[in-house]
Amino acid sequence: MIRGRLRCLMRGAGIFLSALWLGGCVSATVDEMTYNEPVAGIGESSVVILGRRHAPDYDTEFDFIECIGDHIHSGDPSIDVINEIAFINEFYPWFEPRTAPMQPQSIDRLLDMPMVAERFAEMKLEYMIWIDGRTVDTDSVGSMSCGIGPGVAGCFGFGTWGTESEYEATIWDFTDKVEVGKVSANTSGQSYMPAVIVPIPIIAPVQGTACDSLGDQLLEYLSAHH
Amino acid sequence: MRRWLLLLCLTLLGAGCASKQVVVEGNFPTPLMDPLPITVGVIYPQAFAEHEFFDEAKGRAESDWLVKTGEAQVEFWDKVFNGMFAEVVHIRDWQTVQTRGGGIDGVIIPAISDLQYTIPTHTNVKIYEIWMRYDFRLVDISAIHLQEDGALTVNPDERLAAWPITAYGKTPTAFLQTDEEAVNLAAVVALRDAGAHFITTFGAMPDIAAWLDDIANEPPDDGEAPAQNDEPAPTIPDEGVSPEATKGSEEADGTIDMSTAGASPADPAMATEHTL
């Protein structure tokens, strides 16, 4: 009886260790095509990173945009990254999903409005970076059952699912109103959830890797120190 | 023990069909734009200011939904109008019409004609959505009339412009976010979208453009307010309002009863008026 339980526990531990070994494996592909890199950095100018949210079936996540901004700012604290939500609110209604400019040439239309132009000048905005994409969970397999009884509760089973991220950053030079680069990051990974009494989620950091990959490339472009 | 078990069962059964209520709340930004140099009056009809949407559950697995948008609508549109126009006058009673009417270029009356929502339970898509359709009317101040009971009415035939505005808001599912929070967020996004739609299309509509041209071509006003005595203000023709109705307004205490019915069916002159 005890030997049977021990075997069961060892089997569970084996699954758990295998999952740990496999978990966290994320593959990433990054493509970059940029022009007119600011060799001396952007100085006292600022950068805003905005998510595209005009597609009917998805929104670029606000927390992903914040992650990239934090990544750039932590990599080079001299780069002033404007908070996305604060920017959208300040320029309401010109950066809503319905009204956001889709081409850099459309910026001139905004600058025709004196109050908007004045606010842009105050911000010393040099680059506007648009991020379009999303993270989705793909196929999942496995099963898990949980039970509860007098004085005991637990789960047993195993589940796994895939996650994929696809993001593309488009860099606009705000002064010249031209597109000066595109960076894309595609990442995918597999997450696992073994459960021997207690479920242990081993989550593949797919979105985090996409954030780091895009953030590194953008930092390289914007910063004089990278 | 049995009593507790029964209570647990009842709670679990009740949880499936509990009704969900959302009072829409949000922080709305003021539009960044150069205000149009005009003075507009705004009337929020009762149905608009207290707008709510109720959807009854279709089965045991669903919940009743009550989404109250009225307060948020008024808060939001106040910000939009204050950002868009040089001056905004809230018309809540006949006294305002009389005292401020002379300086008002036009009166905007919003209405919500439709609101639809979807949640992941309905669609199996991890998105909460709200869709709204507004019917805006722009009327001259002279089209606003007073009923015997103190209610304001408008003659729909006297409108300067009428146009629909559609708005859409969506928000994806998020960890630790309740259905109510997600629907609220989708409603806030829809309101913002409505404002963006309104602002960007306002001057482009032919009727509005013609109205703005007329205002721009008007000779400069001497700035005098209309008479504030018992006689109707000269800028507010009283067509469609019977002398009795006017007299009734004089006897009113100045407050507007938005909850009362509009034109009396017995009064043919008021048959086409819409109560505000």
Question: How far, in whole angstroms, is CA B213 from its chain's centroid?
Answer: 26
Q: Which residues of chain B does A61 touch, with a Cβ-Cβ cutoff of 8 Å?
A: 172
* B2 belongs to a structural domain: no
DSSP string, B252-269: S-S---TTS--S-TT-GG
B266 inside domain: no
Question: Measured between alpha carbons, how far is B34 from B85 in angstroms, rounded to an integer?
Answer: 8
C-alpha distances in angstroms, A34 versus A170, A179, A184, A214, B151? 9, 9, 11, 13, 64
CA B68 to CA B51: how far, in whole Å?
Answer: 6
Average pLDDT over residues B59-63: 81
Q: Which amino acid appears at position A164 of this protein?
A: E
**Statement: residue B266 has pLDDT above 60:** no
- Residue B223 maps to a domain: no
d(CA B47, CA B40): 21
Q: Which of B27-36, B67-76, B129-138, B141-150 has the lowest mean pLDDT?
A: B141-150
Measured CA to CA, the distance from residue B24 to residue B65 in angstroms comes to 13
pLDDT reported for residue B234: 31
Percent of chain B with pLDDT over 90: 57
- pLDDT: which is higher, A13 or A154: A154
Separation CA B148–CA B257 (nearest Å) = 11
- Greater confidence (B107 vs A8) lies with B107
Q: For A209-223, what is the mean pLDDT?
A: 95
- What DSSP string runs through A28-54? EEEEEEE-S--TT--TT-EEEEEE---
* B77 contacts B58 by C-beta, under 8 angstroms: no
Contact B136, B126 (CB under 8 A): no
Mean of all residue pLDDT scores within chain B: 79
Provide the pLDDT confidence category of residue A40 given band limits of 50, 70 and 90: confident
The distance from CA A141 to its chain's CA centroid, rounded to whole angstroms, is 25
Mean pLDDT check: name the lowest of A43-52, A178-187, B1-10, B176-185: B1-10
pLDDT of residue B27: 93
**Predicted local confidence at residue B227, as pLDDT:** 39
Write the pLDDT tens digit of every residue in B198-216.
999 999 999 999 999 999 9
Q: In whole angstroms, give the CA distance from residue A163 to residue B276.
A: 53
- According to DSSP, residue B204 is labeled G
Q: Residue A3: its pLDDT value, please?
A: 56
Is residue B39 within 8 Å of residue B105, measured between CB atoms? yes
**Cα–Cα dist B30/B19, whole Å:** 34
Of residues B23 and B226, more confidently modeled: B23
The pairing of strands A80-82 and A46-51 is parallel
Residue B272: pLDDT band with limits 50, 70, 90: low
Tokens 């005991």 correspond to A152
Write down the H helix ranges in chain A: 2-22, 62-75, 84-90, 107-111, 114-123, 206-222
| Cβ contact A89–B193 (<8 Å) | no
More confident residue, A96 or B242: A96
- In this complex, the residue of B32, B125, B196 whose CB is nearest that of residue A119 is B32
What is the average per-residue pLDDT within B46-69?
A: 90
Helices (H), chain B: 2-16, 46-49, 70-84, 94-100, 120-123, 179-201, 206-217, 243-251
Label residues A176-185 b or e (16+ Cβ within 10 Å = b). Answer: ebebbbebbb
Q: What is the mean pLDDT of residues B166-171?
A: 94
Which two tokens mark B8? 């647990």
Q: What is the pLDDT of residues B85-95, one digit of tens each?
A: 999 999 999 99
Which chain B residues in 194-233 lie under 8 Å from chain A, judged by CB atoms?
A: 195-197, 199-200
How many interchain CB pairs under 8 A, A with B? 46
Nearest CB to B32; choose among A57, A59, A91: A91
Do A94 and B32 make contact, defined as CB atoms within 8 angstroms? yes
The C-alpha atoms of residue A64 and residue A70 are separated, in whole angstroms, by 10
- According to the model, what pLDDT value does residue A12 have? 53
User: Has the ipTM of the complex gone over 0.90?
Assistant: no
pLDDT at site B126:
81
Q: Which two tokens stand for residue A13?
A: 């531990």
**Which residues have CB under 8 Å from B213's CB, separation 6+?**
none
pLDDT of B229 > 70? The answer is: no
pLDDT at A20: 53
Q: Is residue B229 included in any domain, yes or no?
A: no
Which residues touch A132 (CB under 8 Å, ≥6 apart)?
Answer: A51, A52, A60, A167, A168, A170
User: Is the pLDDT confidence value at A130 over 70?
Assistant: yes
pLDDT at residue A223 tops 80: yes
Confidence of residue B4 (pLDDT cuts 50, 70, 90): low
What does the block give as tokens for B206?
Answer: 């032919």
Distance from CA of B193 to the nearest CA of A (A): 7
DSSP β-bridge partners for residue B164: B135
Closest CA to B106 of B171, B154, B48: B154
- Tell me how far apart the alpha carbons of residues B76 and B11 are, in angstroms, rounded to a whole number: 38
pLDDT at residue B10 above 70? no
pLDDT of residue B233: 33
Alpha helices in A91-198 (DSSP H): 107-111, 114-123
CA distance to partner chain A, nearest, from residue B31 (Å): 5
User: What are the pLDDT digits (tens) for B98-129?
Assistant: 999 999 999 999 999 999 998 888 888 888 99
Residues of chain B in contact with residue A90, where contact means CB-CB under 8 angstroms, are 29, 32
For range B4-23, the mean pLDDT: 63
Average pLDDT over residues B24-48: 96
Give the integer Cα–Cα distance in Å for A130 and A55.
Answer: 14
CB contact under 8 A, B32 and A58: no
The total domain count for chain B is 1
What lies within 8 Å, CB to CB, of B67 at 6+ separation is B21, B22, B24, B52, B53, B54, B55, B115, B117, B130, B183, B187
Q: What pLDDT does B261 receive?
A: 30
Q: Which pLDDT does position A95 carry in this prediction? A: 97
Mean pLDDT of B7-33: 76
Q: What is the CA radius of gyration of chain A?
A: 23
A204: CB partners within 8 A, 6+ apart: A23, A24, A25, A26, A163, A189, A190, A191
Q: Which of B8-17, B45-54, B242-251 has the lowest mean pLDDT?
A: B242-251
pLDDT digits (tens, 9 = 90+) for A46-66: 999 999 999 988 899 999 999
| Predicted local confidence at residue B218, as pLDDT | 80
Centroid of chain to Cα A200: 24
Q: Average pLDDT of chain A? A: 90
What is the band of B244 on the pLDDT scale with cuts at 50, 70, 90?
Answer: very low
pLDDT of B269 over the 50 cut: no
Question: B residues 15-34 near A, CB within 8 Å?
Answer: 27, 29-34
| pTM, entire model | 0.81
Tell which of A53, A98, A111, A120 to mutate to test the B interface (max B CBs under 10 Å): A98
> Taking 90 as the threshold, does the pLDDT of residue B259 lie above it?
no
Substitution target in A84, A92, A123 with the highest count of B β-carbons within 10 Å is A92
- Could you list the residue range(s) of the whole structural domain that residue B95 is in? 20-218+240-258
Cβ–Cβ gap A96/B34 under 8 Å: no
Q: Is the pLDDT of residue B275 over 60?
A: yes
